[in-house]
């Protein structure tokens, strides 16, 4: 059993290398956002090491930079990271039934889109040590990238830092464009979200609401309306 755990762990480490390299590049621009929020390199690195959530961290850094309160940041983190609850539930079903609560909690602590993807792709039941191997290699890449982003943000000229900070928006475009091309509904929701976000900054009374609160309201209203009007149809598991 121990030999099997070791082989799974080493395989997880190998599969985690490309994830770590990707994290290193993307987290660099996240570090610039952390710098703009007033974080030191160590603080930003520690944040990435304990959270490891791109959208959640970026939302948090943006809210902190805009002077948002603790409640606004907490609510946005819950909304931005809610999908990880579903991923954790899916991973839980893939683990052997005799997997201890401790193993389940350790895996649930660091579920990201990429780690979830490679873990779910494992044939048969998931050995927790495979995911541990992926996390061991991938998580430091994310934390180191954030650290370097803040550090270089302190050394580079302001104009270059401003230009590099656009890289994170490019990452989000890479996330939303593929599904938008496949679904007219998703594309419409994205356009409506952009238009509503701009309108909320111009409407007299609503524009006085803090940026963080406006973002939370828009997220809840638009995503809730889309889910109600255009629910995702569940696939028939028994279909041949």
d(CA 68, CA 63): 5
User: 25-44, pLDDT tens digit by residue?
Assistant: 778 888 888 988 899 999 99
User: 41-92, pLDDT tens digit by residue?
Assistant: 999 999 999 888 877 888 889 889 888 888 888 888 887 787 788 788 888 8
Q: What pLDDT was estimated at residue 120? A: 85
Interacting residues of 152 by C-beta distance below 8 A, sequence separation 6+: 28, 31, 32
- 8 A C-beta contact, residue 137 and residue 32: no
Task: Give the three-class secondary structure for 59.
Answer: helix
The Cβ of residue 118 has, within 10 Å, a number of other Cβ atoms equal to 17
Indicate the range of 1-10, 64-73, 111-120, 121-130 predicted with least confidence.
Answer: 1-10
Alpha helices in 183-210 (DSSP H): 184-200
d(CA 173, CA 117): 20
Burial of 170 (0-12, 13-18, 19+ CB in 10 A): exposed
- 8 A C-beta contact, residue 73 and residue 51: no
The total number of residues shown for the chain amounts to 240
Q: What pLDDT was estimated at residue 40? A: 92
Greater model confidence, 207 or 156: 207
Predicted confidence (pLDDT) at residue 201 exceeds the cutoff of 80: yes
- 8 A C-beta contact, residue 70 and residue 172: no
Mean predicted confidence (pLDDT) in 102-120: 88
d(CA 232, CA 226): 10
Predicted confidence (pLDDT) at residue 237 exceeds the cutoff of 50: no
């Amino acid at each position: 059993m121990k030999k099997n755990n070791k082989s799974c762990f080493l395989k997880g480490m190998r599969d985690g290398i490309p994830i770590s390299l990707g994290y290193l590049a993307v987290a660099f621009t996240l570090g610039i956002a952390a710098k703009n929020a007033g974080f030191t390199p160590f603080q930003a690195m520690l944040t990435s090491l304990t959270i490891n959530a791109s959208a959640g961290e970026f939302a948090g850094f943006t809210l902190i930079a805009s002077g948002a309160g603790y409640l606004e940041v907490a609510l946005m983190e819950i909304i931005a990271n809610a999908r990880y609850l579903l991923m954790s539930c899916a991973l839980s079903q893939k683990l052997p039934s005799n997997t201890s609560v401790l193993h389940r909690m350790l895996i649930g602590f660091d579920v990201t889109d990429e780690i979830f993807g490679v873990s779910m792709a494992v044939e048969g039941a998931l050995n927790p040590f495979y995911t541990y191997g992926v996390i061991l290699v991938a998580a430091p890449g994310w934390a180191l990238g954030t650290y370097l982003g803040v550090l270089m943000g302190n050394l580079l000229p302001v104009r270059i830092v401003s230009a590099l900070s656009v890289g994170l928006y490019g990452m989000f475009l890479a996330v939303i464009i593929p599904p938008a091309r496949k679904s007219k509904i998703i594309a419409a929701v994205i356009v409506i979200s952009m238009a509503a976000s701009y309108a909320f900054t111009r409407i007299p009374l609503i524009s006085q609401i803090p940026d963080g609160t406006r973002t939370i309201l828009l997220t809840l209203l638009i995503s809730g309306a889309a889910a109600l009007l255009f629910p995702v149809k569940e696939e028939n598991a028994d279909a041949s």
